Amino acid sequence: MKENNQIFKCASCQIQKKGTVIKKKVAVNDQEYNFIKGKEYRFCLNCAPKIREYNEYDLLNENPHLWEKYSYADAEEILEKEFGIKPKEEEK
Ligand SMILES: [Zn+2]
């Protein structure tokens, strides 16, 4: 997700910047930057490519027992039932 011409402080390099903001949910906790997994932060164009993005489907890889618990469901259904994550609507 991008926003243009904002003044913001990049969550990674901690430099105040003006320009394009890239919002990303981070995939891993990070003590150095206080990133919390699954939370969204604002990054500059330089840092954003280095940030591993959180992916809801990782929850299924981390919790393989859910495939047995919901043996007839597909990935979207499990995410919604177990974590309350609704399938994303197509961006227009
Ligand atoms: Zn940065």
Give the CA distances from residue 86 to residues 13, 42, 91, in Å, rounded to whole numbers and listed in that order: 32, 23, 14
Q: What is the pLDDT of residue 4?
A: 77
70 Cα: distance to centroid of ligand 1 (angstroms): 41
Q: What is the pLDDT of residue 91?
A: 53
Average per-residue pLDDT in the chain?
89
Q: What is the pLDDT of residue 6?
A: 84
90 Cα: distance to centroid of ligand 1 (angstroms): 28
Q: What percent of the chain has pLDDT over 70?
A: 93
68 Cα: distance to centroid of ligand 1 (angstroms): 41
Q: What is the mean pLDDT of residues 42-59?
A: 92
User: For residue range 57-91, what is the model confidence (pLDDT) as tens digits?
Assistant: 888 888 999 999 998 999 999 999 998 988 766 55
15 Cα: distance to centroid of ligand 1 (angstroms): 6
9 Cα: distance to centroid of ligand 1 (angstroms): 8
